[in-house]
Amino acid sequence: MSSNIQIELIQKSNIDNVDFNNLSFGSVFSDHMLVCDYVDGKWQSPTILPYAPIQLDPSAKIFHYGQSIFEGMKAYKDTDNNILLFRPLDNCKRLNKSAKRLVIPTFPEDVFMDGLKELLKIDSAWIPKNEGSSLYIRPFIFASGEGFHASPADEYKLIIATAPSGAYFSGKVKVLIEEKYARAANGGVGFAKAGGNYAAQFYPTQLAIEKGYNQVIWTDDNTHEYIEEAGAMNIFIRINDTLITSPTSDRILDGITRKSILQIAEDENIAIEVRKITVSEVVEAAKNRSLKEMFGAGTAAVISPIAGFGYQNTDYDLPELKSSYASLLKKRITDIQTNKAPDPYGWRVLV
């Protein structure tokens, strides 16, 4: 296949209906989407179309067997109106890693990058410029092929849709450390961005929300003794001056924000430990006040400080620090993303 992209432009833009000063996360969509079909054993040429509902057969396998994967990325604009992406090839590689695990055909990297760049140029006006906002990009692939037989589909659709977005969390983030349910298991699909991983989180997360928390911090499925990650972000824990995060595994998403933070923290001479961390160590540190910070890291969440956590019916509050690792690292990473600072790592990609 080639990345010869057919383009059909919208007749009248919807942009005037959007209040760019009051953006929530992922709830209004830009004018266009990129669509690419896998039929007859190969990916066809992509098309850029007006954003609109799509038609699927009721027997499409996505509905029955959940063959569906996605990515989350962001586009930014700098003061000269350059369009910027952050480590986009890493997202494409992870999409293909997820694809392999779900027996979805992998998508060619060059077509992904060319198509994404073309889409962003067409919908360039949709990329917010106000601080804290960006254009959230959602590439996804699902089984559009038909039939009730429980086996991989023979047809798939890749779509890239975008949404001008503000912060993922409004206000302070309180988390509940999970004691019963599990997000992922050894040998499972936890490392993949499979839609089903998120569906499986909704029920325990709903229980946590009813108790006043925003997210669940998942623990290992076997013993529930080790901290793993949160629903939409990797977790960092600062005890005294050391920043700790759990190693990635079969069960944990290899976050692009996580690995960027580890690199930046190292260059800031922050002591880092990538190791398993037990819930009891965190509780003990909270009790003896050596627990200074916890924060989540992810594309949507950026760096979201955690105000407190619940465990075994007890709430533990974290101190409010004047100069936190979270604020330092958030500034470093967002300055690189938005071209307010040099990018010594080569992470920023100009569209």
Closest C-alpha among 168, 190, 179 to residue 280: 179
253 binds, among ligand COI, ligand PLP, none (CB under 5 to 8 A by kind): ligand PLP
Residue 135 sits in the site that holds ligand PLP (CB under 6 A): no
How many chain residues interact with ligand PLP (CB under 6 A)?
12
Residue 298 sits in the site that holds ligand COI (CB under 6 A): yes
Residue 128 sits in the site that holds ligand PLP (CB under 6 A): no
Residue 256 sits in the site that holds ligand PLP (CB under 6 A): yes
Residue 300 sits in the site that holds ligand COI (CB under 6 A): yes
Q: Which of 33, 104, 189, 253 binds ligand PLP (CB under 6 A)?
A: 253
x/- track of binding to ligand PLP for residues 224-243 (CB under 6 A): -----x--xxx---------
Query: Contacts by 307-315 with C-beta closer than 8 Å and gap 24+?
Result: 307/172, 307/173, 307/174, 308/172, 308/174, 308/175, 309/174, 309/175, 309/176, 309/177, 309/217, 309/282, 310/174, 310/175, 310/176, 310/177, 310/211, 310/213, 311/176, 311/177, 311/179, 311/279, 311/283, 312/179
End-to-end C-alpha distance for the chain, whole angstroms: 22
- Tokens 């928390």 belong to 213
Residue 269: count other Cβ atoms within 10 Å of its Cβ. 7
Q: Which is nearer to ligand PLP, 72 or 166 (CB)?
A: 72
User: At residue 114, what is the residue type?
Assistant: D
Q: Which of 298, 310, 338, 347 binds ligand PLP (CB under 6 A)?
A: 298
Nearest-5° angle of CA 300, CA 306, CA 308?
145
Q: Extract the tokens encoding 316.
A: 């533990």
Residue 204 sits in the site that holds ligand PLP (CB under 6 A): no
Q: Which is nearer to ligand COI, 67 or 205 (CB)?
A: 205
Write out the binding residues for ligand PLP, residues 258-287 only, by CB under 6 A: 258
Contact region with ligand COI (CB under 6 A), list: 3-11, 12-20, 105-113, 295-303: 295-303
304 binds, among ligand COI, ligand PLP, none (CB under 5 to 8 A by kind): none
Interface contacts to ligand PLP, rule CB under 6 A = 72, 229, 232-234, 253, 255-258, 298-299
Interface contacts to ligand COI, rule CB under 6 A = 72, 198, 232, 298-300
